[in-house]
Amino acid sequence: MATLDISTARSAFRALNSGCLFADNAGGSQCLFDVVSRISDYLINTNVQLGADYFVSVNSTNRVASGSEAARELFNADSVDEIAYGSSSTMLVENLSRAMEADIQAGEEIIITGEHESNAGPWKRLAARKGAVIKLWPATQLPEYPNNPYAVGLQLDTLKPLITSKTRLIAFTACSNILGSLIPVEEIVKTARALATELGVRKLEFCLDCVAYAPHRQMDVRKWDVDYCYFSFYKVYGPHASVMYVRASSLTGSLTSLGHHFLDIDTKPYKLQPGGPGYELVYGCTGVPPYLRSLTPSGSLEDAWAVIAAHEQTLLEPLLAYLRGKADRGVRIVGEEKAGLGRVPTVSFVVVGERAIRSPDVVSVFDKKGNVGIRYGHFYAYTLVDMLEPKVDVNDGVVRISLVHYNTVEEVQRIVKILDEVLA
């Protein structure tokens, strides 16, 4: 298998020339220079309204359409007519919940997780409006790590008892933005659908959060058999835009339009877009798939994600090994303690015990260095952090170091050196 040429990969990001160590990538990756160039080119040369017959408008319309194709390719969706753009993932899911409102019946059940609130808050509000019931699928302690109560994750065995004849929607994440763990999406969906059939569920749909998954692994909404799926391009080397996949049958069978009453858009994703997205940003997103394909000689997205995953393990293992080695100092990894292809290099930890250190105080040492970026907090996974036992202050949250493929082993070593100062 090909390996990642890290120098070539880094050369595509002008920000990496600054000398800053970007280790807060789960909050937002750096943007490809080619993406920036496309945004600029759109605004300079094709900044007109879509849909007219004159040349510039035709060109502009085609460019925006190519943004939907870029997202379709990354999702592996059937059609661009299953792709909706928006300004943020949170906004897209809120729009989805509003469009689904007429199809939700009182007493039906929506299962959510304590992960990022974008895939929880809209469903809580929908349930309150419609008299539906919210059930929480909690992250529970992983049996492999009996000595670390913070080693938690979503487990299928804790989901199954929550599914009843009234289950209408299961909203979960493909990868935790706190725990870094990959969830077996295909297995979960297949198991839940089989249970729903046995129980005579009226309709079961799945809304999958891929925001923390999309920078690290290849998505496949067809293989997963999900109905809704979303991610943010600004966390996948693109501009501040987000995108949602909506299965064609769900688009027509579960959703009512949020668009203008006179528009005939029943089979179009514009049902979820009350107004147009930022056209220049949509076109800018077309720079992401070509970059990914450039990472391997084959030009295959599948191969690109494979070399990305392999390189990420070279970043992840030394960082986790160092943190595991500090258990006697009170360091507890939040989530899986070991590297492997079931985990991405988003690493959270706390420092507890007799010599506990608040998460903000850990990060402040990094901040004082002036050119290293890591973060602390709950990262919008408020419920997950608030449910950790023994309790941590949810406002302090966890320390999170989030790496992606353009980070280097040398940068990991630099992070470990600073942690040694903190934990001395």
Q: pLDDT in tens for each of the 424 residues of the chain?
A: 689 999 999 999 999 999 999 999 999 999 999 999 999 999 999 999 999 999 999 999 999 999 999 999 999 999 999 999 999 999 999 999 999 999 999 999 999 999 999 999 999 999 999 999 999 999 999 999 999 999 999 999 999 999 999 999 999 999 999 999 999 999 999 999 999 999 999 999 999 999 999 999 999 999 999 999 999 999 999 999 999 999 999 999 999 999 888 887 888 888 998 888 899 999 999 999 999 999 999 999 999 999 999 999 999 999 999 999 999 999 999 999 999 989 999 999 999 999 999 999 999 999 999 899 999 999 999 999 999 999 999 999 999 999 999 999 999 999 999 999 999 9
Domain boundary, last residue among 263, 290, 317: 290
Evaluate whether residue 176 is within a structural domain: yes
**Shared-domain flag, residues 304 and 379:** yes
**Shared-domain flag, residues 131 and 222:** yes
Domain boundary, last residue among 266, 290, 314: 290
Question: Per-residue pLDDT tens for 135-167?
Answer: 999 999 999 999 999 999 999 999 999 999 999
Q: pLDDT value at position 338? A: 95
Q: pLDDT value at position 266? A: 82
CA-nearest of 371, 360, 365 to 400 is 360
Q: Considering its fold, how many domains does the chain have in total?
A: 2
3-state class (DSSP) for residue 29: coil
Q: Looking at residue 339, which CATH number applies to its domain?
A: 3.90.1150.10
**Shared-domain flag, residues 70 and 166:** yes
**Shared-domain flag, residues 251 and 379:** no
Scanning 325-392, the segments in alpha helix (DSSP H) are 359-369, 382-386
**Shared-domain flag, residues 88 and 162:** yes
**Shared-domain flag, residues 309 and 204:** no
**Shared-domain flag, residues 148 and 25:** no
Rounded to whole angstroms, the Cα distance separating 263 from 189 reads: 34
Evaluate whether residue 49 is within a structural domain: no
Rounded to whole angstroms, the Cα distance separating 151 from 308 reads: 25
Cis bond before residue 390 (omega within 30° of 0): yes
Q: pLDDT value at position 356? A: 97
**Shared-domain flag, residues 305 and 191:** no
Evaluate whether residue 120 is within a structural domain: yes
Q: Are strands 21-22 and 346-351 parallel, antiparallel or unpaired?
A: unpaired
**Shared-domain flag, residues 73 and 209:** yes
DSSP state of 87: S
**Shared-domain flag, residues 141 and 226:** yes
Domain boundary, last residue among 234, 266, 290: 290
Evaluate whether residue 121 is within a structural domain: yes
CA-nearest of 227, 230, 226, 274 to 251 is 227
**Domain span including residue 164:** 55-290
Q: pLDDT value at position 1? A: 67
Q: pLDDT value at position 37? A: 98
Rounded to whole angstroms, the Cα distance separating 112 from 155 reads: 13
Length of the chain: 424
